[in-house]
Amino acid sequence: MKRMIRVCMVALLGVALCWGMSVSLQMEAQAKTVTALEGAKFDTAVSMADNLKAYVGKDVTVHLRSGKTLQGYVKSVGSGLLHLEKLAGKDFYDALVRIEDISAIEAKFRDMK
């Protein structure tokens, strides 16, 4: 009889812990919201270079006409050239890309807070 009471108490404690963790995780998930990042925007009325200048110091992914993709931080945008630093997947590498070879840009617009 005592053994059965212990088993029931352990089972009840386990159910209570699972329920408590479930409620805690739901509250944490509800507390996060999607917020827009300040300064993140594309302007279709200006050139690719002008759009890239808005992302100096920020992480972008650049798709080239050749099909290759480069991800890194925009260091500078000059006349016809883009300097990407800290390339993803390549430690200590930078890239110099001709802007006319860029077919698309990806950038982070929203974040979870």
Domain ranges of the chain: 2-31, 48-112
Which CATH architecture describes the domain 48-112? Answer: Roll (2.30)
- Other beta carbons less than 10 A from residue 74's beta carbon: 21
DSSP helix/strand/coil, 82: strand
Q: Which amino acid is at 11?
A: A
Q: Please, what's the b/e burial string for 80-109 (b: 16 or more CB within 10 A of its CB; e: otherwise)? A: eebbbeeeeeeeeeeeebebeebeebebee
What pTM, to 2 d.p., does this model score?
A: 0.67
Provide, rounded to the nearest whole percent, the portion of the chain with pLDDT above 70: 93
Confidence at 82, pLDDT banded by 50, 70, 90: very high
